[in-house]
């Protein structure tokens, strides 16, 4: 994992996952160094990602007070229970639906859960975090959050984009990427991650985009995009156009067989 400090009080724990035919997908978690430190998501559920070691270079895991889980997909929950074990005072901020989903795999300690619904806020000592569902999501329990002190919106999957290289995927700023390439990749990701965007009531969808436009965060921190500073208006325009983006059609069995035919297994 790669650690990027984008403010004195925000660290990015950056990872990436190569998706054949699509690109290198950023997979970020965040540490908000508030008076009551908050970890936002916990990385990939794959072996050898060393999330806890990376977190330990930013702060002692035992000092974590809150873990904000944007939703319980496996690219967000990798080190969740390890972190709860090593942060004995931490509370897990999530939703009722997310607890139900996680409980299908492993028991969630309900005495450590803090349920927060969209629109509700939580004081973490020196700032308030407000739960806001992003306009695009792939899990019905998704809830991002807005930090009123830094002006940052943690948007979960929304605004994500596969990058051309792993280096770009773990960059400390999306400005290293060509804007037109990012926009095309964001529309691709929108149609992969939220295919319902093509059937949505566009007036209702636009209202969710307008909510963020009114908030006007200085910075967007997505799980699946390098940090984006000062690009809110640009990216909201991208979202507004997502219902007209070309639908994603994945490879079929014939394409898979063609890929496998060109694959030489390691000996």
What's the pLDDT score for residue 262? Answer: 75
- How is the beta sheet containing 2-7 ordered, strand by strand? 2-7, 10-19, 23-32, 38-40, 66-68, 91-94, 113-115
- The answer to whether residue 202 scores a pLDDT higher than 70 is yes
What's the pLDDT score for residue 267? Answer: 54
What's the pLDDT score for residue 21? Answer: 82
pTM reported for the whole predicted model? 0.95
Taking CA atoms, 240 is separated from 101, 207, 243, in Å, by 30, 10, 7
The CA distance from 194 to 220, in Å, is 19
The CA distance from 135 to 138, in Å, is 10
What's the pLDDT score for residue 31? Answer: 98
- The answer to whether residue 201 scores a pLDDT higher than 90 is yes
Q: Does the 2-261 domain belong in CATH 3.40.50.720?
A: no
Instruction: Give the range among 8-17, 160-169, 226-235, 249-258 with minimum mean pLDDT.
Output: 249-258
DSSP string, 70-126: S---TTT-TTHHHHHHH-TT-EEEE-HHHHHHHHTTS---GGGEEE--TT-EEE-SS
What's the pLDDT score for residue 265? Answer: 62
Q: Determine contact, residues 174/228, Cβ cutoff 8 Å.
A: yes
What's the pLDDT score for residue 49? Answer: 92
**pLDDT digit string, tens, across residues 147-188:** 999 999 999 999 999 999 999 999 999 999 999 999 999 999
Q: Determine contact, residues 51/24, Cβ cutoff 8 Å.
A: no
């Amino acid at each position: 994992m790669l650690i990027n400090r984008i403010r004195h009080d925000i660290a990015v724990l950056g990872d990436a996952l190569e998706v054949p035919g699509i690109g290198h997908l950023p997979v970020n978690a965040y540490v908000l160094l508030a008076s009551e430190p908050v970890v936002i998501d916990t990385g990939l559920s794959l072996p050898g990602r060393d999330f806890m070691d990376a977190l330990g270079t930013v702060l002692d895991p035992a000092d974590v007070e809150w873990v904000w889980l944007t939703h319980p997909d496996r690219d967000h929950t990798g080190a969740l229970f390890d972190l709860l074990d090593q942060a004995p005072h931490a509370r897990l901020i999530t939703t009722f639906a997310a607890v139900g989903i996680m409980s299908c795999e492993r028991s969630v300690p309900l005495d450590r859960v803090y349920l927060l619904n969209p629109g509700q806020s939580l004081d973490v000592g020196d700032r308030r975090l407000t739960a806001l569902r992003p306009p695009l999501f792939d899990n019905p329990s998704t809830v991002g959050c807005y930090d009123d002190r830094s002006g940052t919106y943690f948007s979960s999957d929304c605004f994500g984009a596969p990058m051309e290289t792993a280096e770009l995927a773990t960059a400390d700023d999306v400005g290293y990427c060509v804007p037109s390439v990012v926009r095309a990749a964001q529309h691709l990701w929108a149609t992969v991650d939220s295919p319902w965007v093509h059937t949505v009531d566009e007036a209702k969808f636009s209202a969710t985009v307008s909510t963020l436009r009114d908030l006007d965060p200085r910075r967007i921190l997505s799980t699946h995009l390098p940090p984006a500073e000062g690009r809110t208006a640009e990216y909201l325009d991208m979202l507004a156009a997502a219902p007209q983006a070309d639908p994603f059609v994945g490879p079929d069995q014939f394409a898979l067989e063609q890929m496998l035919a060109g694959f030489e297994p390691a000996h």
